[in-house]
Chains A and B, each alone.
Chain A
């Protein structure tokens, strides 16, 4: 799908959907920015929308700086930052972020998302996982499959729109297959 069309496609998705966004590793920077644009600005700017952005690839401060460049208002986005602690880069926490000490605490991710959904109830809640590959670095495959199965099933039942970023490379084949069983659709960014 051309990057320019992703936003419109995501906006058309009903709550309770789960979609994998597959980025091409060779054009990662362009695709990553296009996906951020689509998820944070296009979907996040919908009426009554609230994005919960789970950052494992990059610290929340990095994603937030990109979001600011896209004019995303701070009250439209909350971060679950799973990487800053382990990087020992936690000295300036963002007010709209909650921090988890390690990407291995997958249950903590579920609990923080649950907390944010209860704390900020919105008719249109969107959860973004950035990314499956980064979580796979820290967690064994079986654990990750169990996590995604429970996590996505729970969020779907709560009418949340789920977007999971995945970078295609040789290592990611098995992950992609696992995810394809759990999501409704896989969007190939750029194809």
Chain B
């Protein structure tokens, strides 16, 4: 066991866990944030996607010992601040989720995509989102919602809308 000081969603937390424990289980069972999901345990489904310093990572394959001391971890509970993130709002507008279980991971991947590619094409979306499985088959709506979120982020930033 070892003590780790983490910053999760801008809050400092301290956990005492085995060094090889994946970040996923630290977040879920020790920090107590259940929005990040377990799906495969081998980075094949993306349900466990969180941001480490704004980069999307598969938390099921990230041992806590490799998470740097000052790293900022962001989970689905932390992207919206006081209100919904534009991506979350677009997910509601397009009624994307069915069961919803994979959607935390989908949204984390989409938020990261829009940070680096504010104006994504369908091909950009396919490339960035192909690591996230959805067994309910919501892919068509995910594409639409990402375009919608892109528009809404641009218009709220005052840089003009349109695709």
Whether chains A and B associate is no
Which residues of B line the A interface, CB within 8 A? Answer: none
Which residues of A line the B interface, CB within 8 A? Answer: none
